[in-house]
Each structure stands twice: as C-alpha cells, then as structure tokens.
Structure 1
Amino acid sequence: MKINALLDVNLVAHETADEVAVLLELEAPAAPTTKRAPASLQVVLDRSGSMGGAPLEGAKQALVALVRRLEPTDNFGLVTFDDTAQVVVPAGPLTAKEAVVAQICAVHAGGTTDLSAGYLRGLREIRRAATTGGTVLVVSDGHVNAGVSAPDAFATITAKAYADGVVTSTLGYGRGYDETLLAAIARAGSGNHVFAADPDAAGAAIAGEVDGLLDKVVQALALTVRFAPAVRFLRLFNDLPAQQIGAGEVMIELGDLFAEEGRKVLLKLGVPAMAKLGLAKVATLELAYVELPGLVEHVASLPITVNVVPGDEAAGRVAHPTVSSEVLFQEAQDMKRQASEAFERGDLDAGQRLLGETTSRLRRALDVSPEAVKPEIRAELDDVNCMDQMTRDVGAAHMSKVSRDSYHQMNRKRGRTPVRPDDEQDR
C-alpha cells in the first residue's frame, strides 16, 4: 500500500491557534500474480411489479453475464424480493452454471417492495456460504412500501454486516427508487451506490461491481486518527462512516480496494496555540487492512507534524496547492449533495442554484490547483455543466439520482481509479 500525507500548511505561528487540512492519498497494491482467492457475491434483486418488462429482463441479462464471468470456485447467490423474499439460487460455488442461468431466467415480476426482507435473507445466505466475508449487491427500482424503510434503521443493519466482513453496494434502477435510502445503505455498508437509468446502464454498473470484486486486493481498510493533546478533529470532508473509539481517537471506515485503486481522504484539524518552537506532532494516522489473497493483516502508522515558527515567519507561508484545491473540490461536492437533496424535494430552482455554487467552487479549485490536478477538475466541471444543462429536460427526480451518484464517486470514493482501458476492451 502506498501512503502519502500532505498538509495545506506545515508552518503554524508560535502561540497562535490554527487550522490545518490533511490530505491522505492511498494506492492499493498491484494484483498478485498468484491465483486469486474465491470471491463471494450475493445479489438481492427487486422483482416487484414496477420491475416488470424491460427493467427486470435487463437485470436478468446482466446477472447471466455476471455468472458466466465468475469461476466455478466463486460463491454466488440470488435472492429476489417483492412483498416477501425468495431464495432463487442458494449461495455457494458455481459448479453448475447453466442451472443457475436457468434459475435466473425464470424470475418474474411480483407485488410490493419489502427490501429489508430480501436484504436480510441475502445476508443469511452469504454468511452461510462465505467464510471470509463478501459483497451483497442490492438492485431495486422502487420506494420501499413494506418492512424496514427508515434510512438510519437500515444503515444500522448494513453497518453491522460490514463489521462482520460483508460489504453492501446498491444499484438504483430507473427514476422511481429512493436514492436517500439506497445511498445510506451503501454508505453504512462501505460499498458503492450507482444510478442506472436503463437496462444497458444497469448491465454496465453490475459489470463494474464485479470488476472490483474480482480485482479486490485490500479488505476492511480502516483509518484511525489519534490526536495529540488539545488538537481537535474539526471535519472529515468525505462522507464515510466514522466513530469516536476513545479519547482523542476517531476511526474511519474506507471499505475494500481493488488492485492499484487510489483513494483520497481529506481531514481538517484544529491546532492549539503552542509555546515551544520547532516540530510538533499533532496527530498520528494509522491504517489497518487485510491484504488478499493471503489474508495478511497490515498496520501502518504515519505521524502528522507541523513546524511552530515565529509569527512573522508563519505570515509568509504559502498553502500547498494540491491540498487547497482538494478542499475547494470537496466543498463543491457538498454543494452537489445539497443540490441532489433539493432535486429530491422537487425544487428545481434550488437544485440549479446549488449546482451553480458547485461550479463556482470548482473554478476556484482549478485556479489554485497544480497542473497535474487540473484535468480531473476540468472533467468534473464538464460533468456538472452537463447536469445543469439537462435539468429542465429530464426533471427533478432524474437529476436527484444523477447528482447523488456523482457525489458518491467524487466524495465517498474520491480518487478511485477509473476502469482501465484494458478492462474496457475485455467487455
């Protein structure tokens, strides 16, 4: 694992309280040359009445393609749900692929939507079949109208599953699903949340989830921040599960990483006034993870220090452009999240105004960023401009989902390596 930490400023004025932003950059190891360990994937598929026709047929085709890509040693299971849950393919090794394909093809649309029944049944299946954890992928197109429906209650369930080694990802299908609920499920489950407008997009999203699963090299990555006395944890910019685990200690869940995947985590710390000149440690970042396929546990520590200098010397400091641009980039993502929430309420005007705020911060980020960072900020600017232009054409419901999907990728999974060209050619 490659680990790098940058501070926006590493000089702080003598006897003056200050704030310091810390950008943690991670890169997962390359894929091992040895045969990969068996993967475990449990699909929980909505087959409620609204999925009838093209949506369900598209999802079934994507699942058939998924099964054909997996090895016979991989664990796969399929649970469907409407008002009740049904085990279509019991979780286990794919030793009879054609039989599994036939079972998938026989799925048909049913009644109402009790997602919790399907998810809880899927959890039981993957726990039964997988000894080292796995991934549950929830595919749904509707608002839950039976069972557990409160985002916080559902997030508690998925967080507990993640603590047991099970990652939960969600795929919102079409324009009718509850993006707040599905995003909360994925966040607490340390997985991905993806929006698919049509069967083709759903197929690509499911294929992408499998790419990550089969290329996974790091599992259960957690960042613990230990603060020096009087240092305060002001903000975690990334929308990641975090909890205080002791006095001056916060643990942040980063989930799993695939081969050579990059991640960025941005923090802000409040540094107290310090009387002693020279280097001072303000925090220690500790990364704990399991490396696959050997299930080797690693712990890496990185001290974060500042240089306490006289006030006149600190007055001439220049902020690190990479960190400064990342702060603005993440402030833009917060505006985008607020835009998504406005669109979800049906408020097009507020949503567009907030997208304008997103653009403004991205332009400021572009102004201060180093040349190496500018291309990704320009690409994000292009994406936000496209969202703004399409808003009046597609409506609030669609824009809420598009912007929430984008927020997930640019904030929660910030820095995630895009699909590589050779992967594109393989598909």
Structure 2
Amino acid sequence: MKQTALAVERDKDNGRREVLLLVTLEADAEAPRAPVAINLVMDRSASMRGAPLSAAVQAAQALVDRAGPRDYLGLMTFDADPEQLLPVRAMDAVAKAQLFKVLSKLESGEGTALHEAVERGAEAVRRVLVPGARPQVLMLTDGEPSVGPSHVADFKTLGARIVESGVSLHALGLGRHYLPNVLEALTSPSGTGHHHVDNPEGLGPAVGSLSAELFGEVASEARVYVLPSGFAELRCRHVFPSRVEGDAMSASLGAVSRAYPRRVLFSGTLASAEWSLGVTASYVEGSDTRRVPVQVTRVLPDSAEGRMVRAVSAELDMASAEDAAWRALSNGASVSKRHHLTSEQALESMRRALEVANKSLELADEALAKLVRLNAAEVPPQRHLERLADLRRTIDRRAAHPHALVMRRARAEVSRITLSRVGVVPPVDEQPPSKLED
C-alpha cells in the first residue's frame, strides 16, 4: 500500500493562513485482491418494466460473470415485497449457471419496499462468513420508496445500523425519479457513496466500473488520523465519516481497491506561524491490521502538487454549491405542496428558491473557473461543464414556468466527488464484459 500526504499553506479570504492536507492511499497494482461476499438487491417495481429491467439484468449478469470460485454472491429482488431468490453462496460453475438463469427470468411487479429490501438484504449477507471478505450489499433502484418507511431520517438510521453490524452498502440509482437524498443517507455511513446513470444504456458501464472496484479490493477499514499542532481548527472536507479522537481527527475511508486510490482532504486555519501535522494510516490487509506513519510533504501552492491539492479543494467547493442549488430547486417545488400555499405564496416561495439556486450556481461557476485555471491533470474540469449547463437550463426553465415541477437531478457526480472517486477508470487486471467508462 502506498501512502502520501501533501500539505499546502495559503492565504484565506479573511487574511488568515490556511493549510490544505491531501492524504492518498493507493493499493499496489500487483497486490492480491480479497474475495467478495455480495448480496445483490435489485428493484423490480413497475417503473423498471421493459428496458430498465432488461438493462439491470444484463448488468447483474456481467457482475456474476466476473466472480470467481472464491467469491460469494446472492440475489434478492423487491417490489412491494422483498424476496431472497438465491442465498449468498460460492460462485462455482453450478451456482453461477443458476444465478444467470434466475436473472434471465425476472419480471416486474408493483410497489417499492426499499427500506425492507435493504434491511433484509444486509441480514442475509451478514449470516455468511467468508474468511477475508467483507459482507456487502449492492442495491440497484430507479424509484422512490412507496411501501414502508420513506423519510430520509429512517434510511440514515438504517444505513448506520447496517455499518454497525459489519456490512457495507453500495447503491446505484437509475433515472431521474429516484431520491438521491435517500441513497446518500443509506451509503454515507459505509463511506461508499452512491452511483447514478440517467438511462438504462448507462447501467452496463456503471456496474462495470463498480464491479472493478468491488472485485479489486486489497484492503478494508482504511482510516486516516491527523494530529495538528499550531492550528486554530481542523476539519475534514470530504463526506467520509470523521470524528475527533483526543487531540487528533480521523476519517474512515472504507475499502481501497486496485486502480481506485482513496483521497481525503483536510483543511485548517493556522493559529501560529509554526505548525505541523502528524499523519497515520491504518487498514486491514488480509487478516492483518496495519498502522503506518505517513510522511507529510509541504509543497508550494503553484507547484504541480500544490495545484493538484488546490484543485481537489475547488472541486469540492463546486460540488457543494451545485448540490445547494439543486436542493433549493427541489425544496421550492415541494413547499407549496406540503403547506398548501396559495398561488401567490407559492410563487414567492419559488422566487426565493430561485434566488438561492442562482447564487449557488454562481459559486459553482467560480469554483469551476478556478479549477480550469489550476489546470491539474488529476482533476480535469471538463466532466463538470455539462452538469452545470444542465443546472443553468433547469433554473431558467423554472424561472419561465414557476408552477412546473422540478425533476430531481441525480447527483452521482457530486456524491462521487465528495468521495474522491470521480475520474477515468484506469485499466485493471480483470476486465468486465462491458467497457469501463467515466
């Protein structure tokens, strides 16, 4: 495992000095991967009928095809009622053939019992002990929960409970009608983030990229510890679960896979001219828990390494502002429905929401412009242009038609940015049947 820590000191807007610390954990390309134990939880509700379900089946079959005899897979499907069609078991030739057959015969139903499906899917994989493998759930859905608990708080509690039980949760949202806040609440405690595709055609590449990560895991339970000296405050900029431990701060990065380096950015305001940062990384590799010190390298802001660290910070600023804009639009659209406002009150509510969305978009544009100026190869800005243009079009349409419903915009890129896992997928030893794409 390779560990690096880059620190950049720079001026803040308020005249004080700030330090950015970027810690990266990267698995060796030749390191042996761990076996996997995954329960695949697939939505087969009415909205999945036709092309979405067909694409989901093909994507799941690609995942099965990648599994080796040391890997364990199971299959649960859900509409109004979750059903564990096949138990989590070793993928020998017979088991793989049966899983392929069951997947090919899936049909859509009615209702979306998302909460119960995730809960039961985690219970099923937790009951199987595979030495060296973390029990995991991979959930695919295109809809909003219509059966059982539906509040974000319920899913946040469930996500935390699943992690406490030793299971990690991955999620993939399909289309524009699912609830990104729900998937974010479920996956944030696992430190995995949720993925998204707008249409069925994108499922193959998305699952291919995700399976390359799942089937390339080298280490698990990775955590970074930072002990600051000379700082007024220190915070973790990514959404990895973080906590204060005595005088140090730690962030849980989850698993580290081949070709998927894990990065976490910290920022802190200086209290004195003299400062230092002690960094330690810990992770589980095989059956061994390792804890290693990481040397902190101070780099100049305008050096290649300094621009890269600053680019990661700018990208996070952009993602945060973009997310705030979409939240403002969604909240503005739902206020009148929740509170039964008059037409005039609803228009005023939307006007305020549009003001917030426009200001947030301006901040996102400024961060993107900064990203372009920094010109860091590791953090390319091109991938963000289309999303911000899409946001601008949505704001303009809403201003022209304030009574129209705002389509929920999937924030996969945002959630992946907050986990530092956006980018071109490098080649790996085991290629899935579908082409890997960004």
* Partners of 1:359 and 1:381 within 8 A in 2: no
8 Å contact 1:11–1:317 — kept in the other structure? no
> Cα distance 1:41–1:352, how it changes in 2: closer, same or farther (>3 A)?
farther
Match of 1:301 among 275, 293, 297: 293
Which residue among 51, 62, 84 is the counterpart of 2:81? Answer: 84
Report the counterpart of residue 36 of structure 2 in structure 1: 39
CA distance in 2, matches of 1:106, 1:237: 45
* Bigger Cα displacement from structure 2, 146-155 vs 123-132: 146-155
Question: How many Å apart are 1:286 and its aligned residue?
Answer: 1.9
Q: Relative to structure 1, is the Cα distance of residues 59 and 393 closer, same or farther in structure 2, using a 3 angstrom cutoff?
A: farther
- Residue 284 of structure 2 corresponds to residue 290 of structure 1: yes
Which stretches in structure 1 are left out of the alignment for 5+ residues?
A: 307-315
> Which structure 2 segments of 5+ residues have no match?
334-349, 399-403
**What are the superposed Cα offsets for residues 167-215 of structure 1, whole Å, 9 maximum, x if unpaired?**
2111111222111101221222222411122222122222222111111
Q: Secondary structure at the match of 2:89?
A: strand
Given candidates 396, 405, 411, the residue that maps to 2:412 is 405
| Residue matched to 1:257 | 256
In structure 1, what is the Cα distance between the partners aligned to 2:110 and 2:41? 16
Alignment correspondent of 1:313: none
The answer to whether the Cα contact below 8 Å between 1:343 and 1:400 also exists between their aligned partners in 2 is: no
1:2 match:
2
| 1:180 maps to 2:177 | no
Structure 1 equivalent of residue 51 of structure 2: 54
The answer on whether the counterparts of 1:242 and 1:251 sit within 8 Å (CA) in structure 2 is yes
How many angstroms apart in 1 are the aligned matches of 2:143 and 2:11?
A: 52
Any idea what SS the aligned residue of 2:9 has?
Answer: coil
Following the alignment from structure 1 to structure 2, what is the Cα–Cα distance between the partners of residues 62 and 424?
10
| Equivalent residues, number | 400
Residue of structure 2 equivalent to 1:203: 204
Separation (CA, whole Å) in 2 of partners of 1:358 and 1:11: 21
TM-score normalised by the chain length of structure 1:
0.82
Alignment check: 8 A CA contact 2:231 2:275 kept: no
The answer (yes or no) to whether the contact 1:171–1:194 under 8 Å persists in 2 is: yes
Q: Which residue of 2 aligns with 1:20?
A: 19
> Could you tell me whether the CA contact under 8 Å between 1:76 and 1:92 is conserved in 2?
yes
Q: 1:65 aligns with which of 56, 62, 66?
A: 62
Contact 2:136 2:167 in 1 (8 A): yes
Deviation at 1:46, TM superposition (A): 1.5
Name the aligned partner's letter for residue 288 of structure 1. S
- The RMSD of aligned alpha carbons is 3.4
Contact 2:233 2:270 in 1 (8 A): no
> 1: CA distance between counterparts of 2:364 and 2:125?
40
Q: Does the C-alpha gap of structure 1 residues 421 and 31 become closer, same or farther in structure 2, counting only changes over 3 Å?
A: closer
Residues in 2 aligned to 1:359 and 1:69: alpha-carbon distance in whole angstroms: 40
Given the alignment, which residue of 410, 420, 423 partners 2:427?
Answer: 420
Asked if the contact 2:75/2:85 (under 8 Å) is kept, the reply is yes
Q: 1:388 to 1:142 in 2, by over 3 A?
A: closer
Contact 1:3 1:25 (C-alpha < 8 Å) held by counterparts:
yes
Deviation sequence 1:249-297 (CA, Å, 0-9, x none): 33211111211322332211233237xxxx643x322211122xx3332
The CA distance in 1 between the partners of 2:8 and 2:119, in whole Å, is 44
Residue deviations 1:221-246 (CA, integer Å, cap 9, x gap):
11122344x744443221221223x3
Do 2:34 and 2:218's aligned partners in 1 also have CA atoms closer than 8 Å? no
Q: Give me the whole-angstrom Cα distance separating, in 1, the residues matched to 2:196 and 2:307.
A: 33
Partner of 1:311: none
Kept in 1: contact 2:7–2:297 (CA 8 A):
no
CA distance in 1, matches of 2:380, 2:255: 25
Equivalent position SS for 2:30? coil
The answer to whether the Cα contact below 8 Å between 1:75 and 1:129 also exists between their aligned partners in 2 is: no
- Does the CA-based 8 Å contact 1:82-1:111 persist in structure 2? yes
Q: Match for residue 324 of structure 1?
A: 310
Provide the residue aligned with 1:139 in structure 2: 140
> Quick one: structure 1 residues 280 and 390, their matched pair in 2 at CA, closer, same or farther if it must change by over 3 Å?
closer
Question: Is 2:369 aligned against 1:363?
Answer: yes
Q: What is the CA distance between 1:11 and its match in structure 2?
A: 11
The 3-state SS of whatever aligns with 1:129 is: coil
Distance 2:362 2:16 in 1: 34
Alpha-carbon distance in structure 1 between the residues aligned to 2:289 and 2:419: 24
1:106 to partner: Cα distance: 2.8
What is the match of residue 320 of structure 2? 334
